[in-house]
Amino acid sequence: MKKVLDLRIILSERVAANCVKLVAAPVEGPLPECKAGQFAQLRADVPGAFLRRPISIHDIEGDRISFLVQEVGEGSRWLASRQEGDIVNAVLPLGHGFTIGDEHSALLVGGGVGVAPLLLLGRRLKAKGIKPTFLLGGRSAGNLMCLDAYREVGEVLITTEDGSLGERGFVTQHSSLNSKLSTLNCLYTCGPTPMMKAVARLARERGIPCEASLENHMACGVGACLCCVEQLADGHNHCVCTDGPVFNINDLKW
């Protein structure tokens, strides 16, 4: 069940030129139960930024929750500048997370800061005996974050557009992708829309179940303002904040 709570920052670590990892714990009481793929609405105390900012739950260990915050504007810059001991007000968990079934192996494909929710997903899959492989892409080595944490959970394959780390190219061009697709039985993806659409195309061609996490612009985060709507394959508009952000690709008009 969602809760409004104050989180105290325990660790603030710059993990890329424009991205900070925040580890936090509730000031009072336990952390509510959260699923991989759910998100938090974090309050940014900057003048004019009265709306909370949606940020994916990156990881949970015990009562510690972490987020990756990419600095793009006022709100995210404020959040990324929080230091140990600072308090951030949060509403969480929000939305529907990823579905974890009874598959035996899964490929988790992420790009940019879209890699964030895949760490907790990998952890939860592994806890259920499902082998996660991460396929992570970025523009260059400096855009790939927290790789050691992903490596602790599963195998990590990397692509960069400039070839500075892993294989040169896009995630969908990785040389191991074909062999992975022939053995795994579930795909998950989060990142830039063109990347997710390419992953969805591959999943359809191979008949592999696939879920994608959308990052439509949001305001309220709770289904009240309709600013995050996405028209789905059923022809109806759905709120990404409450009906998503994770959708089965068969429900999307992709």
Ligand X SMILES: Cc1cc2nc3c(=O)[nH]c(=O)nc-3n(C[C@H](O)[C@H](O)[C@H](O)COP(=O)(O)OP(=O)(O)OC[C@H]3O[C@@H](n4cnc5c(N)ncnc54)[C@H](O)[C@@H]3O)c2cc1C
Residues that bind ligand X (CB under 6 A): 39, 49, 53-56, 68-70, 72-76, 113, 116, 215-218, 245
Residue 56 contacts which entry, ligand FES, ligand X, none (Cβ below 5-8 A, type-dependent): ligand X
The piece of 84-92, 137-145, 214-222, 244-252 that touches ligand FES (CB under 6 A) is 214-222
Residue 210: closest CA among 98, 57, 97: 98
Q: Which of 25, 181, 220, 248 binds ligand FES (CB under 6 A)?
A: 220
Binding string, 221-250, against ligand FES, x = CB under 6 A?
A: x-xxxxxx----------x-x---------
Strand partners, 94: 39
Angstrom distance (rounded) from CA 163 to CA 146 = 18
Spatial neighbors of 62 by CB under 8 A, at least 6 apart, are none
- CA 56 – CA 45 distance, rounded (Å): 19
The verdict on 192 binding ligand FES (CB under 6 A) reads no
Residue closest to ligand X when measured from CB atoms: 73
Alpha carbon of residue 246 to chain centroid: 10
Tell how far CA 167 is from the center of its chain: 22
Q: Tell me how far, at minimum, the Cβ of 60 lies from ligand FES, in Å.
A: 23
Shortest Cβ 179–ligand X spacing (Å): 30
Q: What are phi and psi of 221, to 5 degrees?
A: 80, 0
